[in-house]
Amino acid sequence: MRKKLYNCIMPKVKVNGKIIEVEKGSRIIDFVHDRQYFAAQIDNELRDLSTEITQDCALKLIDITTEHGKRIYWHSTSHIMAMAVKELFQEAKLAIGPAIDQGFYYDFEVDKPFSPGDLEEIEKKMREIIKKDIPFEHIFLEKKAARDFFQNRQESYKIELINEIPEEKISLYRNGDFTDLCRGPHVPKTGFIGVFKLLSLAGAYWRGDVQQKMLSRIYGVSFPTEEELADYLEKIEEAKKRDHRKLGTELELFSIFEEAGAGMVFWHPKGAILKRIIEEYWMDEHIRAGYEIVSTPHIAQSTLWHRSGHFDFYRDHMYTLSVADQEYVLKPMNCPGHILIYKSKIRSYRELPIKYAELGTVYRDELSGTLHGLLRVRSITIDDAHIFCRPAQIEEELCKALKLAIKMLNKFGFEHLRIDLSVRDLNQRDKYMGSDEEWERAEQGLISALNRVGLDYTRQEGEAVFYGPKIDIKLLDALGREWQATTIQFDFNLPKRFTIEYMDQDGIHKEVIVIHRAIYGSLERFIGCLIEHYGGAFPLWLAPVQVMVMPITSKENKYAEQILKKCIGRGLRAKIDEKSEKINYRIREAEIKKIPYIFVVGPKEVEKKTVSVRQRGRKDLGEMELKKAFNLIKTEQGGEN
RNA sequence: GCCGGGAUAGCUCAGUGGUAGAGCAGGGGUUUUGUAAACCUCAGGUCGGGGGUUCGAAUCCCUUUCCCGGCUCCA
């Protein structure tokens, strides 16, 4: 009786803020007909639209505009792609197919990797599947049944995944004959996917493990409308215009020559001056912050690298050479050099902290497939420093280092920083050097420094290197890919290997704390990110050429040369363009080269002893006295000149 | 290193078995120009390197270097 009464109650459902009454047991899709919504969130849980409503609840309908929405949409598209692949290539084995930040991928094991031609076939098949509007059915199987199911289909990767699922009920999704292991949720039917594009092919190891089989990965992206897809593709095209490799050539900043070898950067004058400015700023900040500048050789005897342990754990990346029958190593890191300087005499606790800094160029034999313009090279200028301190100084030093890093990154306009705290995997303690006490103290130090500086960070379990925990700060390139710049790392390895000590107040030799830290990370990578960050339009203080002086006709050349001289005397990086091209042509050229200021001088200016100033992005600012132009430049943000 | 795709003039690209092309950039000339492209003209490439197939190769095959997108690695 009571049950019956209960059955009559119409659950009240708050849908995106509006309350409606629905029949008990009805599915969300029964009362939500707007096709832009394809999933729902009930009490913070993402659900399919086939979810039955049995009681009062609040639900938020999900569309493509939210992060969750994108993920669901793309994940569903990846299922459709996998379905298409299975129809075209029966022997393909399914691995995994998640949504990612900008789309989705699916990994398959196939005898012959896919070719670009295959993608067209797959796209065609996908369009058919979408047109058929096949429902996504959520089904559950007992673990054993699920295993048998995939065993019958010879989907060994799925079985491997099932074996790692703790729950007994295994969640799967079915579209017609295609069934995939999946937590969901999904769009209700394949027809909910509007337009999509398969973007690229790649090899990918199963579980990212080099020892495992290489799978074929297909990347793609999807959107409700053609416009959104076109927008997305256009955004990528726009981003490619900021590619530092493209701008590096256009702005004559650097080259990498096939003849010289991969990963070796040759800085042209404009790039070299940019690098120099960045180095000078670094030098200035470091000397102010109590660092002492050191300089160490590029090669050292291999015995040093045996002692440091690099021969044991970094051999694959090292270039060795023989010099007068001795084996030498082209330095892959600066640390041993700095340690030798530290160890050159007995150190008192009074001297600590000692902070040695060096813009040291190191050489690493990086895997050829990983090289990427300036962002991954083999000759790497690291803005390296080693902080030697007492345990009691750890937190203070970390704080200072972090503050310095943030200050310097902000100076270059990097505001939104992705910060990671990498700690050890507690289940694999034997993988790491150092005692529990050392690890805990270091980790605490890193955390409290992060808190004191007020930084948000992500804790990365098991991402620490074997010799200590670390903080990393990542920069983004034009396409949103992350590149590690700043790193602050503890080292529990080198102090022991080199017995680096200090004489403490109590007259006892104690092991010193060693913290490695780099702010730019590598000058090459940093400049690569910087070029993309500014799209080549560097702020005044970084611009390789700050002012271009342009006489309108050759009659003004003499006056223009005087102006140029005054600019240079003023410390500005200025050039003159006396080509007999029209002024429009030369202005266009200077704009393309992204020069911040153009001083145009014609008969008027000669007569009135003025210049006409054109500022990048703001066009003609009109005629003014040179003094006023200099003041204008001086007041421009970051323009110390 | 692995998987896929590439490499043609300084740059961007066209050219799929029959005498290597365009635009921009560069040199010379004309033009003396007022805030994003004046005009004429010239030069420039053993088609990334090496080997092979062919009467004949930029084009087909092999190999190697380098580049691009990923995987992996990492600053």
Express each pLDDT in A526-573 by its tens digit.
Answer: 999 999 999 999 999 999 999 999 999 999 999 999 999 999 999 999
Q: How far is the CA of A497 from the C1' of B8 (A)?
A: 55
The per-residue pLDDT for A115 is 86
Q: How far is the CA of A256 from the C1' of B1 (A)?
A: 21
DSSP 8-state symbol, A11 = -
Kindly determine whether the C-beta of residue A316 is less than 7 Å away from any atom of nucleic acid strand B. no
Q: How far is the CA of A368 from the C1' of B54 (A)?
A: 36
Q: How far is the CA of A93 from the C1' of B62 (A)?
A: 32
Q: Is the pLDDT score of A7 beyond 60?
A: no
Distance, in Å, from the CA atom of A135 to the CA atom of A190, rounded to the nearest integer, reads 6
Q: Label the pairing between strands A137-142 and A99-100.
A: unpaired
Q: How far is the CA of A257 from the C1' of B57 (A)?
A: 27
DSSP 8-state symbol, A272 = H
> What pLDDT, in 10s, does the model give residues A230-275?
999 999 989 999 999 999 999 999 999 998 999 999 999 999 999 9
Q: How far is C-alpha A445 from the geometric centre of its chain's CA atoms?
A: 25
> What pLDDT, in 10s, does the model give residues A583-635?
999 999 999 999 999 999 999 999 999 999 999 989 999 999 999 999 999 98
Kindly determine whether the C-beta of residue A201 is less than 7 Å away from any atom of nucleic acid strand B. yes
Q: How far is the CA of A564 from the C1' of B19 (A)?
A: 52
DSSP 8-state symbol, A376 = B
Residues 572-601 of A with CB within 7 A of strand B: 580-585, 587-588, 591-592, 598, 600
Kindly determine whether the C-beta of residue A406 is less than 7 Å away from any atom of nucleic acid strand B. no
Q: Label the pairing between strands A57-62 and A12-15.
A: parallel
Distance, in Å, from the CA atom of A401 to the CA atom of A560, rounded to the nearest integer, reads 46
Angle between helices A116-132 and A67-88 (to 10 degrees): 110
> What pTM did the predictor assign?
0.93
Q: Is the pLDDT score of A29 beyond 80?
A: no
Q: Is the pLDDT score of A89 beyond 80?
A: yes
Q: How far is the CA of A240 from the C1' of B21 (A)?
A: 27
- Amino acid identity of residue A70, one-letter, is K
Q: Give the number of other Cβ atoms within 10 Å of residue A3's Cβ.
A: 6
Tokens linked to A281: 């700023």
Q: How far is the CA of A589 from the C1' of B26 (A)?
A: 15
Kindly determine whether the C-beta of residue A212 is less than 7 Å away from any atom of nucleic acid strand B. no
Widest Cα–Cα separation across chain A: 105
Nearest nucleic acid nucleotide to A594, CA to C1' distance: B36
Nucleotides of chain B touched by protein CB (<7 A):
1-5, 11-12, 30-38, 65-75
Q: Is the pLDDT score of A57 beyond 90?
A: no
Kindly determine whether the C-beta of residue A368 is less than 7 Å away from any atom of nucleic acid strand B. yes
Kindly determine whether the C-beta of residue A244 is less than 7 Å away from any atom of nucleic acid strand B. no
- Amino acid identity of residue A109, one-letter, is E
Sheet containing strand A18-21, edge to edge, reads: A18-21, A12-15, A57-62, A39-42, A45-47
E-assigned strand segments in A145-240: 169-175, 178-181, 195-205, 214-223
**Which of A114-118, A445-449, A476-480 reaches the highest mean pLDDT?**
A445-449
Kindly determine whether the C-beta of residue A370 is less than 7 Å away from any atom of nucleic acid strand B. yes
Residue A293 — pLDDT band, cuts 50, 70, 90?
A: very high
Residue with tokens 């200072």: A400
Q: Is the pLDDT score of A278 beyond 60?
A: yes
Nearest nucleic acid nucleotide to A486, CA to C1' distance: B75
Residue A453 — pLDDT band, cuts 50, 70, 90?
A: very high
Distance, in Å, from the CA atom of A233 to the CA atom of A250, rounded to the nearest integer, reads 23
Q: Is the pLDDT score of A48 beyond 90?
A: no
Kindly determine whether the C-beta of residue A373 is less than 7 Å away from any atom of nucleic acid strand B. yes
The per-residue pLDDT for A393 is 96
Q: What share of chain A is helix, strand, coil (3-state, %, to 5)?
A: 40, 30, 30
Nearest partner of A194 among A120, A122, A131, judged by Cα: A131
Q: Is the pLDDT score of A6 beyond 70?
A: no
Q: How far is the CA of A77 from the C1' of B31 (A)?
A: 61
**Which of A20-29, A44-53, A161-170, A339-348 reaches the highest mean pLDDT?**
A339-348
> Per the omega criterion (within 30 degrees of 0), is the bond before A596 cis?
no
Which has more confidence, A283 or A617? Answer: A283
Q: Is the pLDDT score of A311 beyond 70?
A: yes
Q: How far is the CA of A349 from the C1' of B49 (A)?
A: 60
Query: Which three-class secondary structure state does DSSP give residue A312?
Result: helix
Residues 115-134 of A with CB within 7 A of strand B: 115-116
Quote the mean pLDDT of chain A: 92
Name the percent of chain A lying above pLDDT 70: 98
> What pLDDT, in 10s, does the model give residues A185-213?
999 999 999 999 999 999 999 999 999 99
Kindly determine whether the C-beta of residue A268 is less than 7 Å away from any atom of nucleic acid strand B. no
Kindly determine whether the C-beta of residue A210 is less than 7 Å away from any atom of nucleic acid strand B. yes
Q: Is the pLDDT score of A323 beyond 90?
A: no
Q: How far is the CA of A581 from the C1' of B19 (A)?
A: 38
Alpha carbons within 13 A on the beta-carbon side of A555: 7
Q: How far is the CA of A284 from the C1' of B50 (A)?
A: 51
Residues 407-426 of A with CB within 7 A of strand B: none
Angle between helices A523-534 and A269-288 (to 10 degrees): 110
Length of chain A: 641
Helices (H), A133-259: 143-152, 156-162, 226-241, 244-250
